Structure 1
Amino acid sequence: MSDDDVTSWLLAGDPAIRWQVLRDLTHAPEQEVAAERALVATSGWGKRLLDLQADGQWAGGACFPGQGWRPPGPVVGDPEAQPWVATLPTLRLLRDCGVDPADPAVRTAVEEVRDTSRWEYAGEPFFEGEVEPCVNGGAVALGAYFGQDVEGIVTRLLGEQLEDGGWNCEAENGSTRSSFHSTICVLDGLLEYERASGTQDVSAARRAGEEYLLSRDLFRRASTGEVVDPDWLQFSFPPQWHYDVLRGLDYFRAVGGTPDPRLAEAADQVRDKQQPDGTWLQENTHRGLIHFELEDGDGAPSRWNTLRALRVLRWHDGA
């Protein structure tokens, strides 16, 4: 496919894809982008996800399905693996879709989460966070995006930053080295919080976390230069709490500015994955129970990964 054909193929997808293509790839007028974005909450994946909320949360739990919860229809995904249907991953997917936080249905859904959902571990309200930095990073990103107070979680995360600049959910068990997975989740949350609140109070911590990733070229061991995990060179959507090179690059794209030279090798990894038809494939889907399929599975062309790869490379290459 030509570039125009790839763009047309992307625009034939769900409103969650279309509005981001208009904003990031075709640079359509703001009014056109806003009109398309408004459809996310009223049709397609966004509306389907909103309609699945019950009793103030999804699947009866903050991070895991509640006791006695059953899927409303046939099981989609692997029920024996990580469940991706509870409140945290569902809100995370709605944010990835770019649902408008100002939409009345979205505001109501988020307010019900605030008032109802409690973390399984300690029973704290959803937007007060729990114990793991990767989960709390996600909660900060969601709270900041959907207009909720998450200052308490941010304070906790700043106090949990490790000496090497990142975060690790195993720090409470004695780990002193950061995790790519935990770090990208926290960075994502801090960036969203910084932009929503207009404060610079977290910028130093965020830059230190970014340096942790950059000093490793986004996927190499600091000690040997070896690839940390070959799976990080495969691109998944939704990424859930997992790290991969495309997710790392998409974070730095969101930060903006001039790309750091240490991103070049990671950008080449993304560039090399482009198929002859101009698309990128879905790869390494993270196993688990899901609400419904977004695409056609591993090995098939992925609108999500194609959109993310194209906008990352255009930013990195200055195109």
Structure 2
Amino acid sequence: MGTATQEWLLGQDPALRWQVERDLLDAPEEVWAATRARVATEGYGARLLAEQDPDGQWAGGAFFPADFSEHAADEEGQPWTATTWSLNSLREWGVDASVLPGTAERLAAGCRWEYDDLPYWGGEVDVCINSWTLSNGLWLGADVDGIVDWFLTHRLPDGGWNCSWVDGSQRSSFHSTLNAVKGLLDHAVRTGDAERTREARRAGEEYLLVRRLHRRLSTGETVAPWALRPTYPPRAYYDVLNALDHFRAAAAHDGTPPDPRLAEAVATLRDQQQPDGRWLQGPPHRGRTWFAVDVDEGEPSPWLTFQALRVLRWWDAEAG
């Protein structure tokens, strides 16, 4: 990483800066922890915390804002302002759960899923939603143990998951499977119970690995252009950088070397690096947000650059 890129990344919001300090610069814990503590009081983290409703929700809804309409979504895209999306961001930015006292309890008491009015911490039928609810519940100290069992019993025959299982699908998807294994890894990391979910997570990871993270098993062709064009934030969507970052985290937790089948995706990622050492933002995921946290399409993205450099640093050190 060049000096200019390093200084550029260090000049970003604390939500990104502390991760740069820890994962790219090997700064002492007291340095990056101090930066991390700032996320709740300034920048993106503070702005999003200020949008929380008195009942613990954001935008008055679990997955969709209270004023959501299918017509508006068709025109504007999926809105990203409701409770689940806001919790995802705060957790991923490193906000400590202590900053949100009583939130888990308030959501348990008054937040219901738009699907069948189900209680929030029980999850619902969507794989991706249940993955985020599992991770957010573990972070905030809610009882989400039942969601772990849900994942173990909703695996598809090919080893992965698909949010369309409820409509009868028996074929896994890249999006759903990645989100599922990320949630299961988070459970293992936060609880220390690696055995409970190990087999299911490894099967889901194998689903992605045999496809080299982006290829159809049937034809060997890239599944779709979106697989090779990372965007931050990824929201519910799949791309090879999002997947590679999961495998980096999983290898660190499991104490295993990088799987050689990741090499093609790593090469694709490396090829996307610009002459100035940065990566460009991909196509945006349409929809209402509280505020922008990255650049427009085609501009150098601080978040993607950080994540790509972190993946390459891991790969180059561990895979030789």
The two structures have a TM-score, normalised by structure 1, of 0.93
Check if 1:225 corresponds to 2:224.
no
CA distance in 1: counterparts of 2:105 and 2:310, whole angstroms: 32
- Residue 238 of structure 1 aligns with an amino acid whose one-letter code is P
Partner of 1:57: 57
Partner of 1:100: 96
CA distance in 2: counterparts of 1:186 and 1:115, whole angstroms: 26
Percent identity (aligned): 51
Q: Look up the SS of the partner of 2:196 in the other structure.
A: coil
The structure whose RCO (Cα within 8 Å, separation 6+) is larger is 1
Check if 1:131 corresponds to 2:130.
no
* Displacement after TM superposition at 1:78 (Å): 9.5
Partner of 1:147: 141
Q: Look up the SS of the partner of 2:150 in the other structure.
A: helix
Equivalences for 1:261-276 in 2 at 5 Å?
Answer: 261-276=260-275
Partner of 1:235: 230
CA distance in 1: counterparts of 2:279 and 2:309, whole angstroms: 9
Deviates more, 1:208-217 or 1:2-11: 2-11
CA distance in 2: counterparts of 1:99 and 1:166, whole angstroms: 30
CA distance in 2: counterparts of 1:197 and 1:294, whole angstroms: 30
CA distance in 2: counterparts of 1:96 and 1:284, whole angstroms: 21
Partner of 2:156: 162
* Displacement after TM superposition at 1:79 (Å): 6.7
CA distance in 2: counterparts of 1:79 and 1:56, whole angstroms: 28
* Displacement after TM superposition at 1:42 (Å): 1.0
- Residue 182 of structure 1 aligns with an amino acid whose one-letter code is S
- Residue 225 of structure 1 aligns with an amino acid whose one-letter code is G
CA distance in 2: counterparts of 1:177 and 1:265, whole angstroms: 24
Partner of 2:15: 16
Q: Is the 8 A contact 2:226 2:238 kept in 1?
A: no
CA distance in 1: counterparts of 2:200 and 2:186, whole angstroms: 14
Equivalences for 1:101-120 in 2 at 5 Å?
Answer: 101=97, 103=98, 105-120=99-114
C-alpha RMSD of matched pairs (Å): 1.7
Partner of 2:279: 280
* Displacement after TM superposition at 1:125 (Å): 2.2
Q: Is the 8 A contact 1:166 1:208 kept in 2?
A: yes
Partner of 1:201: 196
* Displacement after TM superposition at 1:148 (Å): 2.1
Q: Look up the SS of the partner of 1:56 in the other structure.
A: coil
Partner of 1:296: 295
Deviations 1:202-251 (Å, cap 9, x if unpaired)?
Answer: 11100000000000000001111100011111111111111100000000
Partner of 1:89: 85
Deviations 1:156-212 (Å, cap 9, x if unpaired)?
Answer: 111000111100011121211101111111111100011111112011100000000
* Displacement after TM superposition at 1:45 (Å): 0.2
- Residue 243 of structure 1 aligns with an amino acid whose one-letter code is Y
> For 1:254, which of 249, 256, 264 is the aligned residue?
249
CA distance in 2: counterparts of 1:143 and 1:237, whole angstroms: 23
Query: Which structure has the highest helix share of the two?
Result: 2
* Displacement after TM superposition at 1:109 (Å): 3.7
* Displacement after TM superposition at 1:135 (Å): 1.0
* Displacement after TM superposition at 1:91 (Å): 0.9
- Residue 181 of structure 2 aligns with an amino acid whose one-letter code is L
- Residue 114 of structure 2 aligns with an amino acid whose one-letter code is E
Q: Is the 8 A contact 2:125 2:166 kept in 1?
A: no
Where does structure 2 lack aligned partners over 5 or more consecutive residues? none
Deviations 1:261-299 (Å, cap 9, x if unpaired)?
Answer: 000000111111111111111111111111001122111
Aligned pairs, how many?
309
Deviations 1:23-79 (Å, cap 9, x if unpaired)?
Answer: 10001001111111101111110011111011320111000011489xxxxxxx997
Partner of 1:74: none
Q: Is the 8 A contact 1:267 1:313 kept in 2?
A: yes
Is the alpha carbon distance of 1:110 and 1:11 closer, same or farther for their aligned partners in structure 2, counting shifts above 3 Å?
farther
